[in-house]
Structure 1
Amino acid sequence: MVNLTRIYTRTGDDGSTALGDNGRTSKTDVRLAAYADTDETNSVIGVALACGDLPEEIRSTLARIQNDLFDVGADLCMPLRASYPWEPLRVRAEWVEELEADCDRYNADLPTLRSFVLPGGSAGAALLHQARTVARRAERSTWAALGEYGDQPSGEGAEKGEGGVNPLTATYLNRLSDLLFILARVAATTGTGEVLWQPGGGREQS
């Protein structure tokens, strides 16, 4: 159980922060960037829920995803190790499959796209497009962490913080960005409709 009794601790005043295994790392660590960007994705989804006037079905899906994103962050902050005194929370393949099923379900009734979509169409659609771009950044940050630490657990004698990163976190964020794009399209249908890209802005080409 999480028990937050104090919000400030002063332990990060030296530019370091705690990992899930009680090790410490720099606040500029690529691993930290990955779960910070994941947290930002969650926050933008929260704004979309609060301000986007979204259909109830989408709200329910996004509520589940917000909880998942905390789990993704918990996974990213816990280096892969050969053993733990407790079972850590890890993203599983079934979560990715669930996102793919959501993509198929919501996309089934959408019209075929004839151009790229500009963010807009309604407040909810615009905010979901913003969430999509932040999710893409979170995915890139996660791949950077995988490049730095790999996807293998550290050995028993390794220094704390040297363990790998679960690659399913990057896969989850990739599928999430796809789903957010689809949900933005669905949300746009309740507003003024989708705004499509016109190459050259509709200007006459010389």
Structure 2
Amino acid sequence: MTRVVLVHGIAQQFKGSQTLLADWYPALCDGVTLAGGLGPGPDQVAMSFYGDMFRPAGHRGLGIPELDAGDVKEGLERELLLQWWETAARLDSQVPGPETAARMRTPDTVQRALNALSHSAFFAGLSERLMIYSLRQVRRYFTEPELRARIRDRFAAVVTESTEVIVAHSLGMSSPTRRCARTRTGPTSNSSPSAPRSRFRD
């Protein structure tokens, strides 16, 4: 009986459902307990894992391709990177702003964005190529219908009639969680695993 479905975000292609559950489940229970509820049992929580779908078929290596600013594609990838930069600069005083970005050509603007984001608390410790690889995952999800359909099928297979809560992170919110939530009894949450909505007071 799956009461809670967890949906991960970008850059999880080298993990798996059980690996992610080992991190998310204790945080989920802590959040519910702190909210005054009774946390769900391990058999009531499932992870909708799709990270492996971003790995090339038949590819066994764990490395990320060598990517640099010149590999950021025009369109969605570049626009999203600049949005990350603008938002990070607004929220984090350690991130220099992109005020002059519009007057510079790619890859200069892109490189400046990557350099600036490396100073943000959110992207701290994330390599440049991993940031670019994450951008690529978002672009692929929204521009490759077959890939998107496979990810949604994976998600639909986890949700059951017993599902009450869906907790989704970043790209996971783009899976059909909201449409699914309207047909179930519980809400969809985009909160972090450590602060889920409490539905476990009974």
Relative to the length of structure 2, the TM-score reads 0.23
Answer 1 or 2: which has greater helix percent: 1
By relative contact order (CA 8 Å, sep 6+), the higher-ranking structure is 2
Greater CA radius of gyration, 1 or 2? Answer: 1
